[in-house]
Structure 1
């Protein structure tokens, strides 16, 4: 393993702090709660497996993932434009493609009775999956 010099202990501390923060987000195992004399917390939400809404729920999940990827591609495209990596023609095609993808997303949401806000899943203490609309 290469020695990073004085940065190595600091980097290990950063990783340990990040791991400690992540583990604080997890619920305690049932055996630890039983030893402490408290009950395990009730789950915040349960999965609803209603046969009547399974198609809509599956589409919501798929569209959420597609929207996340669309937003990531949009940010990458803006970064490339800012860096000057693209020609004017490439910028124009990229912009038109991203607008078309957004329009198709809105159309699919409407087809399944969803709005774009419905795709922003709440991840509890981590916040929402997608950034808020500006």
Structure 2
């Protein structure tokens, strides 16, 4: 059995995944940066450099998405990841409701 792979589709899929993961990491970095700024851990110069680096990263990601026509696919993947995380958090917060729903599915 031969597996036929569309090279362009595969490259776009991998690039979509990489860009999406970098965006998730970027959001975590931004959250950590805000915590450090609010905690007074950074000098004004460090805040400026950090802010500029995050802006540069965001600009680069947007340019890559535009250049490769990935804006929609990245947004779709992000939404899918957000949905998975939301469901997981809900299961952790409301285990009794999820256990009941699981029992109802088996019946």
In the TM superposition, residue 102 of structure 1 has moved relative to its aligned partner by 0.2
The partner residue of 1:91 within 22, 31, 47 is 47
Cα distance, 1:96–1:52 mapped onto 2, change above 3 Å: closer
When the two chains are superposed, the root-mean-square deviation of aligned CA atoms in Å is 2.1
Q: Does the CA-based 8 Å contact 1:63-1:119 persist in structure 2?
A: no
Q: Normalising by the residue count of structure 2, what TM-score does the alignment of the two structures yield?
A: 0.66
The partner residue of 2:9 within 46, 53, 76 is 53
Cα distance, 1:126–1:70 mapped onto 2, change above 3 Å: closer
1:70 aligns with 2:26: yes
Question: Moved runs in structure 1, 4+ residues, more than 4 A?
Answer: none
> Unpaired runs of 5+ in structure 1?
1-48, 129-134
Structure with more contact order per residue of length (Cα contacts < 8 Å, sep ≥ 6): 2
Q: Normalising by the residue count of structure 1, what TM-score does the alignment of the two structures yield?
A: 0.53
Q: Deviations over 1:6-26 (max 9, x none)?
A: xxxxxxxxxxxxxxxxxxxxx
- Larger fraction in helix: 2
Aligned to 1:120, the other structure's residue is in SS state: helix
In the TM superposition, residue 119 of structure 1 has moved relative to its aligned partner by 4.5
> Between Structure 1 and Structure 2, how many residues are aligned?
80
Q: Please identify the structure whose Cα radius of gyration is greater.
A: 1
